[in-house]
Amino acid sequence: MKTITLTLKKKSPIALEFDELIPDKVFDWEKVDFEKYQVPVGNRRFPLTDYFDIEVEGDAAGPEEVKMILDGDFGRVKYIGCKMGAGEIIVNGDADLHCGAEMEGGKITVNGNAESYAGREMKGGELEIMGNTREFCGCSYIGDWRGMSGGKITLHGSAGKQLGECLSGGEIYVKGDCDILAGIHMNKGFIQIDGDVTRWPGGQMKNGNILVKGKLGILLEGFVYDSVVADPVIDGKSFSGKYIKYNGDIAVNGKGNLYLNAEKNREFL
């Protein structure tokens, strides 16, 4: 087991990029390798040691034996864990854009807030964010119609706009509230939101499931009432209580399911 600890000593106003510092690439690095490494900052590179104190302990035969601990405010460090395939990254602070983007395996925990595009195009592994995140969590790359396809995102705080945009697999679980258009264009997978939702979940969804335990502000016209179901089971997960089930989005001939907590959303009945 190898533990790599980076402790922030200077926060750059221009974002650093960390996609080269994933367990898959650094599992055999010694302290000296990190000290030699130049990190991308904007369109240039600077020594990693300008920004961090570095500790390396133990050995790893592969990325799965690596734990990276990022201590401090990483709110100006982009692409943390981007494309990682194994191992673990713990951010003890905030994370900037694209945290866990394109990740295929392993686990990232952010003990703070994550900026937009967290878990973009995620294919596998786990991303857990203890705070809030902003727009396009678990989405596609801009312009693409192929979004997150596997793995799990757990968000203890709230999500911004277009959560799980173009979702085609995997699971997103939001314990807090969620802003507009969760699951827009999704065609597979499951989004669970425990808190309240402002409006329009499932816009143009083709398939997949969205469940809202809290209160919904505005439902899209493309969702057709199906029935009130008791204790639904979705993707092997059971939910107690009554839920109003809708099908949609009929604007795109969608076969998706949207479940709203019946008790909290009585006015829709």
CB of 140 to another protein, least distance (A): 8
Nearest to 228 by CA among 242, 216, 241, 240: 242
Tokens of 198: 């402002």
CB of 254 to another protein, least distance (A): 12
Q: Give start and end residues of each alpha helix (H) in the chain.
A: 23-26, 31-36
Q: What are phi and psi of 213, to 5 degrees?
A: -85, -25
Q: Give start and end residues of each alpha helix (H) in 122-208.
A: none
CB of 141 to another protein, least distance (A): 5
CB of 145 to another protein, least distance (A): 6
Q: Does 268 bind another protein (CB under 8 A)?
A: no
Residue with smaller CB distance to another protein, 146 or 237: 146
**Strand 152-155 versus strand 126-129 pairing type:** parallel
Residue with smaller CB distance to another protein, 206 or 245: 206
What string marks each residue from 129 to 168 as x (binds another protein by CB under 8 A) or -?
A: -----------xxxxxx-----------------------
How many residues contact another protein, by CB under 8 A?
Answer: 6
CB of 252 to another protein, least distance (A): 9
Q: Does 44 bind another protein (CB under 8 A)?
A: no
d(CA 221, CA 238): 27
Residue with smaller CB distance to another protein, 145 or 225: 145
Number of H helices, E strands in the chain: 2, 21
- Rg of the chain (C-alpha set): 20
Binding residues for another protein (CB under 8 A):
140-145
